[in-house]
Each structure stands twice: as structure tokens, then as C-alpha cells.
Amino acid sequence: MSQRCPHSVEINCRDCRMNALCLPIALELDEVDRLNDIVQRGRPLHKDNYVYNCGDEFRSVYAVRSGSIKTYSVNDQGVEQVTGFYLPGEIFGMDGIAHTHHISSAVALETAAICEIPFGRMEELSMTLPSLQRHFFKLMSKEITSDQQLIALLSKNSAEERVATLLLSISARNAKRSLSNVRFRLPMSRADIGNYLGLTVETVSRVFSRFQKQNILAVDKKEIEILDVPGLQQLSNT
């Protein structure tokens, strides 16, 4: 009964296989049910479908149940900046809280199921659930620290170090979800990786090629196998 297609709408927070990573992690069972009551689950999104678009009214933050999401913003000159990749169990959309409208866009990199958490109702619930309030403060703080780590990466590290660090990040996040930390499929394109890491597609491609020559990686399109984890950690230099 609780084992369904991961994209299924008919899952609640209590049964969701991501509940050890997602918002419920900080809550008691009865509190999870109260959270579950406000969560909205739409039908799965297909690749390139938007969760929200820059300029949309801000109403909710979102959790990834399955698939993966890319967020990006566009500056005045129309230049896009990918600001994050989100995997199952991760929360996104918190940059909209300070504004009445979204200032970034979120799009599915592949078929994805998303939980929508209406922010106003989450705030109300927080007033009576201290652990939810605290957890949400922590979530936002984590977003800040991960952004600051990306700032340090862009500011101080070479192309190889940036790519190695991203691969290790995805690897670690897969491990948290009980997936392989050495074999996985990158849901995003080379262009997305380059945009996120402040590199051109060509540079990203060259780095992948070099890592293959050094027997650090085996790359087949988007399928990645990390052949030498310590080597990659050394290259990441962080």
C-alpha cells in the first residue's frame, strides 16, 4: 500500500520514503500529520515543466519527492545563472519568501514529483509547532551556508576543483538517499553544470575528458562512475 511509484500523488509525509531527509525529520509523528495536512501534491512534472516562474506570485516553498529540479535567475541583461540543483528530499523556493513574487524560476530536469508547502499555512503551523519553526529556520540557514560554500568555490577554485566538488556533492547526496555514491546519472546538461559553476560548456567537457584520462571517472554521456573517490577528493581540494 505504501510502496507505490515514486511519482505517485497518493503518498503522505508519514509514509514518504524521503521523510528522513525532508521537513518531517524534525517532527513527532502527530506533528508530521499536521504538516501533511497542508502539503499539496500535484501530478508529476515532465522535463522542462516549471514549478514556478520568475515573476509568479510567491505562495509556497517546495520539496522534491522524486526526480530533480533546477533553479535559476535571470539578470537585467538576460543572462541566466543556475543557482541550484535539488534532489529528492530537498527543499527549494526559499528565496521567494522575502518578496511577494518569485525572483527565480524552478524547472524539472526530468520527470519529477513535487510537494508544495503553502508558506502562509506553514507559518501559521509554525506558531504552534516550535520544532517546525526551528527546523525551517535551520533549513534556510543551511541554504545560506551552501550558497556561501558555492561562493567560496567560485571565488577560489579552478575549473577542475569546481567540477570535482560538484560531483562529490551529488555523490554524497545520493548516498544520503541510499543510492550509490559512485555510480549515478547526472540529471543536468553540461551547459547547466557550466552555468552553475561559472564555466563554459567547453571547459566542463574538457575537465570530464581529463578526469577520464586520469582514470578518476568513467563517463558515458550523463552516466558517471567515480573510479577513484580519494583521487577525486584530492582534486576537489576542499
Partner DNA sequence: CGACGCGTTGAATGTTGTCAAACCGAGTGG
Partner DNA sequence: CCACTCGGTTTGACAACATTCAACGCGTCG
Residues forming the site for its own copies (CB under 8 A) = 73, 75-77, 79, 81, 83, 94-99, 103-104, 123, 126-127, 130, 133-134, 136-145, 147-148, 150-152, 154-156, 195-198, 237-238
Name residue 108's beta-bridge partners: 69
Q: Which does 147 bind (CB under 5 to 8 A by kind): DNA, its own copies, none?
A: its own copies
Q: Which does 208 bind (CB under 5 to 8 A by kind): its own copies, DNA, none?
A: DNA
CA 184 to chain centre: 15
Binding mask 62-91 for DNA (x = CB under 7 A): ------------------------------
- Residue 18 has a CB neighbour count (10 Å cut-off) of 22
- By CB under 7 A, is residue 202 in contact with DNA? yes
Q: Kindly provide the residue ranges of all beta strands, DSSP E only, lying in 109-222, ordered along the sequence.
A: 113-118, 183-185, 217-220
Strand, coil or helix: what is 230? helix
- By CB under 7 A, is residue 208 in contact with DNA? yes
The span from the CA of 120 to the CA of 60, in Å, is 8
Q: Which does 3 bind (CB under 5 to 8 A by kind): DNA, its own copies, none?
A: none
31 grid coordinates: 506533528
Using alpha carbons, list the distances in angstroms from residue 229 to 74, 88, 135, 190, 225.
Answer: 35, 23, 32, 21, 10
Chain positions 116 to 175 lying near DNA, rule: CB under 7 A, are: 158-160
Residue 3 or 55 with smaller CB distance to its own copies: 55
- By CB under 7 A, is residue 238 in contact with DNA? no
Q: For DNA, which residue of 133, 205, 214, 238 counts as binding (CB under 7 A)? A: 205
Residue 45 or 199 with smaller CB distance to DNA: 199
Strand, coil or helix: what is 15? coil
